[in-house]
A and B are shown apart, each in its own frame.
Chain A
Amino acid sequence: MATPHTPPAAGDLTPELLGAPEWSDRMVAAAGIPMYDIPFLTLGGGIGSFVTLDYLRVYGVPTSQMRVVSNIDHPWQTYEFLTRCSQIPRPERIRSDSSSRPDNLWGFPSYALEEAWKEKNPAYLLQIATEPILNDYWTPRAGTVFENLEREAKRIAYWDMLVKGQVRMVRRRSGGGYFTVVTPPEGTAQTKRIVFRSRFVHIALGYPGLKFLPDLQEFRQKYGDYQHVVNAYEPHEQVYEFLKTRPGTVVVRGGGIVASRVLQRLFDDREKFRLQTQIVHIFRTFVTGSHGPSLRNRRKGGDGWAYQGFNYPKSVWGGQLKAEMRRLEGPERAQKYKEMGGTNTPFRRRWQEQMRAGREGGYYHAVQGTVERVEPAADGRMMSYVRSKDGTVREPVSDYIIDCTGLEADIAEHRVFADLLRHGGAYRNPVGRLEVERHFEIKGTASGDGALYASGSATLGGYFPGVDTFLGLQIAAQEIADDLARRGFCRRMGPLRSTSQWFKWALNKPV
């Protein structure tokens, strides 16, 4: 007797669909999945989707031609969550510079001009004119960015284009274009899935996932302790609250900007609440001074850190390094990434001051080392086994461990990317992420007259390195918008139209 065969409920993915790299309209219809036509679809709904829609709206595309599928309600939601966890609440200043304005594609007036005007503070102008020589880089408050994003989102009618849902996959359509399968929120649709049929799709799903340091992951799982070993990207206020109740020791791991932020919070609290907190800071790579391949390529460093204003050298976003990278392929490109990448943090006078005080006061200890394992100590706290390059073994005991390494998971951990690599023709670049063209079309995924684009961290390793930043997402958006103009989807933007659109932005008039 044949095994009973329950057909999948109408409106869900069928084995036929799952197995086929290319779908026809008939196949989708046969599965009973409702299909919606929309020429341009962007997936993710974070900053990357937002700036792309912003460009296209300013280029003149009406909202009726575009949709954004997202699991969040407003574009800065994920970014705000991550910055808040990593100790950048709205009044604090972010990393990127004054003219990285995701809410204004011209970058003029810059955030410094705006904050100087609003707060009647000309000192910002002096700082911006003398950065980074006489001053630290001027960077905007997180709150300034969010308020402006909200203003711009309203101006371009962002919410008219938003469709809530979880993106499941993108597949090529026979005859050209793509199908995007979306799982709508429960109770909002008749079927389990819906499908969008589009000529153009843009993927901006942000981080495929955040990865924990393996030894910390092991500790968490083995001892079921998710309270004392934390990742800086997850909510961890309990650490700071605990330290207010009694003296404690914290191990901080990582040498990037998130470690700087967490240290600042620990130092600030220490000062504000007169705490006794001891800090052990473990760098896997301990930078002792300027470093680099040649006299003309030396990055500043010291006390463990590599110093750099932004996550890549500044000319990556428009100058010499951008032009150079654009020409490199394969191993040469990977090599260049190695040279200028690596973990780094900005040199900020306030942070330097706090660390110096900490070293002198004997409550901030920075060491080089690799953590071999973490175990519960006899007194119920945690002991880290740290081996340094010179063979020294240290065993600091702490109340908390904060992982600030910000490791990103492999792109294949995200279902949509895994599906693209498996069925969509996409492949990996020399750094292991999605290989994209100079105009951010995902290589190998063309389908008839359609195109599939991607921007953000998933595309790191391409011809343009600064992808996972506001300005990088805007550079990608401009390349994409210009490519769409070449393909006849919208008009190219010339100086006159740009100027008139800028006035609309300035007056907060709809595009």
Chain B
Amino acid sequence: MVPTLIGRIQTRLFLLATVGVVITALIVPVLPGLTGPLSQDYLTGFSVLAAVAVLGVLWELLYHFLMQFRWEKDWPTLFGLLTLVPEGLLLLFLLRSGAIGSVIDPVPPASAFWTQFVVVWICVWLVANGPMRVPFIRWRFRGGRVL
């Protein structure tokens, strides 16, 4: 799928709300370094997921801008994977610095954060690069728009 701006945002939100939610639900009980009661851990896990979605919309604006410098106006598969690095670092920094620490409290330890973040990211990336086309036959021709 080669995205348009609105398609990027919709795809991100849709996949985080589906794949992201399922993976988070499965992974939270086994995340390393979480010590609270399970309900507390779930709250943390889903808050992190929500933060990826909200911040993600801003990131997508940046990606869209950068894409304009590409002749093909495309977004190679590899970019979709590697952008996890800056996104993860920024989010962790924001959590640690307390900028969004008041919303997500307690802040998960780095090990729990990275495990959840990377697993969710890779699953979303894999689904976006293939299986998504099975139920949604028009999605790839509409720049990633789900609606």
Which of A's residues lie within 8 Å of B, judged by CB? 99, 105-110, 113, 128-134, 292, 295-300, 308-309, 313-315, 317-323, 475, 478, 493, 495-496, 498-499, 502
Contact = CB atoms under 8 A, between A and B. Distances in A.
Contacts of B136: 495, 498
11 contacts: A131-B76, A133-B79, A299-B71, A315-B73, A315-B143, A318-B140, A318-B142, A319-B3, A319-B7, A319-B75, A499-B134
A107 B133 contact: yes
Most buried by A among B79, B131, B137: B137
A498 B74 contact: no
B130 A320 contact: no
Interface in B1-20: 1-5, 7
Nearest to B7: A319
Contacts of B135: 495-496, 498-499
B141 interface: yes
Given A106-B134, A314-B2, A320-B73, 7 more contacts: A107-B133, A109-B130, A134-B78, A299-B71, A315-B72, A315-B74, A319-B2
Nearest to B5: A320
A209 B76 CA distance: 36
B77 interface: yes
A319 B138 contact: no
A314 B72 contact: yes
B130 A478 contact: no
Contact of B137 (A106, A313, A323): A106
A296 B130 contact: no
A319 B73 contact: yes
B68 interface: yes
Given A133-B76, A296-B68, A320 B137 contact: no
Contacts of A99: 133, 140
B146 to A, nearest CB: 10
Contact of B143 (A106, A300, A322): A322
A318 B137 CA distance: 12
Contacts of A107: 133, 140
Sorted nearest first, the 5 A-B pairs with minimum C-beta distance are A319-B2, A495-B135, A315-B73, A314-B74, A313-B72
A283 B79 CA distance: 35
Given A319-B4, A478-B137, A502-B134, A129 B77 contact: yes
Given A133-B78, A300-B71, A320-B143, A315 B138 contact: no
B19 to A, nearest CB: 15
Given A129-B81, A498-B134, A475 B141 contact: yes
A300 B69 CA distance: 12
A322 B133 contact: no
Interface string B119-141: 00000000000110111111011
Contacts, number: 98
Interface residues of B, number: 31
Contacts of A320: 2-5, 67, 73, 143
Contacts of B141: 317-318, 322, 475, 478
B10 to A, nearest CB: 13
Contact of B73 (A108, A132, A321): A321
Contacts of A296: 68-69
Contacts of A309: 72
A313 B74 CA distance: 8
Contacts of A108: 130-131, 133-134
A134 B76 CA distance: 11
A475 B5 CA distance: 20
A430 B139 CA distance: 29
Contacts of A105: 137
A130 B135 CA distance: 26
Contact of A308 (B3, B72, B76): B72
A132 B67 CA distance: 14
Nearest to A479: B141
Q: Which of B68, B77, B133 has the most CB of A within 10 A?
A: B133
A478 B72 CA distance: 23
Indicate the member of B3, B68, B78 with the most A CB atoms within 10 Å. Answer: B78
A416 B71 CA distance: 37
Contacts of B131: 108
Nearest to B130: A108
A136 to B, nearest CB: 12
**Residue of B7, B74, B81, B138 with highest tally of chain A CB at under 10 A:** B74
Interface in B45-90: 67-69, 71-79, 81
A110 B130 contact: yes
A181 B136 CA distance: 38
B4 A295 contact: no
Contacts of B67: 320
Interface in B88-122: none
A195 B137 CA distance: 35
Contacts of B72: 308-309, 313-315
Nearest to B79: A133
Interface string B1-41: 11111010000000000000000000000000000000000
A317 B144 CA distance: 12
B4 A323 contact: yes
A498 B135 CA distance: 5
Contacts of A321: 73
Contacts of A495: 135-136
